[in-house]
Amino acid sequence: GQNIDQPTEMTATEGAIVQINCTYQTSGFNGLFWYQQHAGEAPTFLSYNVLDGLEEKGRFSSFLSRSKGYSYLLLKELQMKDSASYLCAVNSNSGYALNFGKGTSLLVTP
Amino acid sequence: DGGITQSPKYLFRKEGQNVTLSCEQNLNHDAMYWYRQDPGQGLRLIYYSQIVNDFQKGDIAEGYSVSREKKESFPLTVTSAQKNPTAFYLCASSNRDSLNTIYFGEGSWLTVV
């Protein structure tokens, strides 16, 4: 089966840095994705990792360690609009479909 | 503009009725998907299709049906056999050329009344 775990909720302060962790145990691995989802809206693509290491894109960075089955999403210079749910998803070779974790609800406070 | 269009945005269903959610994409993507999201939960895969006239069951296919007669279209029917259909439904598509990144439509809210 597929098992993707992330914390349910996190709170951070505006301007700070927050790290959202994701661990996975899947039958195969063909890439890990991070999506942002605001309440009542569709998820939007943030990042993709298939090789070990850090991918940086503006204020957001994503890290992958395949041997540890571990990833994190790093958000810098937090803004109030970053309050959202962050979904970790793995492509485990079952076609192209992604398996999603339950998401981490991030609240950014003033 | 290219994108994925879902309709309707909001739909109410009486118990015992079948309803169909529409999904159209003009991104020329080969693969299309249907996910279901319940409040506070992650996305669960209902069905997916990698090519026209072919589709596969996902993790929670019972009570749902799909068709893929055209590359652009992947409608989802929620049948009366689906006992708890109230949820947020998301259609998505992807292509090998985009590293299999999945792009989502705006979603459809289905409520049983």
Q: For the ranges A27-31, A54-58, A63-67, B16-20, which has the lowest average pLDDT?
A: A27-31
Q: Does A103 touch chain B (CB under 8 A)?
A: yes
* Structure confidence at residue B22 (pLDDT): 97
pLDDT at A96 over 80: no
* Number of neighbouring beta carbons within 10 Å of residue A41: 14
* Structure confidence at residue B41 (pLDDT): 80
Q: From the list B35, B100, B107, which residue is nearest A96 (CB)?
A: B100
Q: Do residue B45 and residue A97 have CB atoms under 8 angstroms apart?
A: yes
pLDDT at B100 over 70: no
In degrees to the nearest 10, what's the CA dihedral of A67, A70, A73, A74?
A: -70
Question: Distance, in angstroms, between B13 CA and closest chain A CA?
Answer: 19
Q: Does B54 touch chain A (CB under 8 A)?
A: no
pLDDT at B98 over 90: no
Query: Distance between CA atoms of B54 and A88, rounded to whole angstroms?
Result: 27
Which residue type, as a one-letter code, is found at position A74? L
A31 within 8 A of A90, measured Cβ to Cβ: yes
Average pLDDT over residues B70-79: 96
Burial class (CB in 10 A: 0-12, 13-18, 19+), A29: middle
Which residue type, as a one-letter code, is found at position B6? Q
By percentage, how much of chain A surpasses pLDDT 70? 95
For residue A109, report the phi and psi dihedrals to the nearest 5 degrees.
-110, 155
Nearest chain A residue to B48, by CA: A97
Average pLDDT over residues B97-103: 72
B62 CA to centre of own chain = 14
* Structure confidence at residue B99 (pLDDT): 63
Residue to mutate among A6, A87, A96, with most B CBs inside 10 A, is A96
* Structure confidence at residue A14 (pLDDT): 97
At B47, the pLDDT band (50, 70, 90 cuts) reads: very high
Q: What mean pLDDT, rounded, does chain B reach?
A: 91
CB burial of B90-101 (b: ≥16 within 10 Å; e: otherwise) equals bbbbbbeeeebb
At A54, the pLDDT band (50, 70, 90 cuts) reads: very high
Q: Do residue A33 and residue B35 have CB atoms under 8 angstroms apart?
A: no
B93 within 8 A of B25, measured Cβ to Cβ: yes
Closest CA to B106 of A38, A35, A41, A98: A41
pLDDT at A94 over 70: no
Query: Distance between CA atoms of B12 and A105, rounded to whole angstroms?
Result: 28
DSSP A82: G
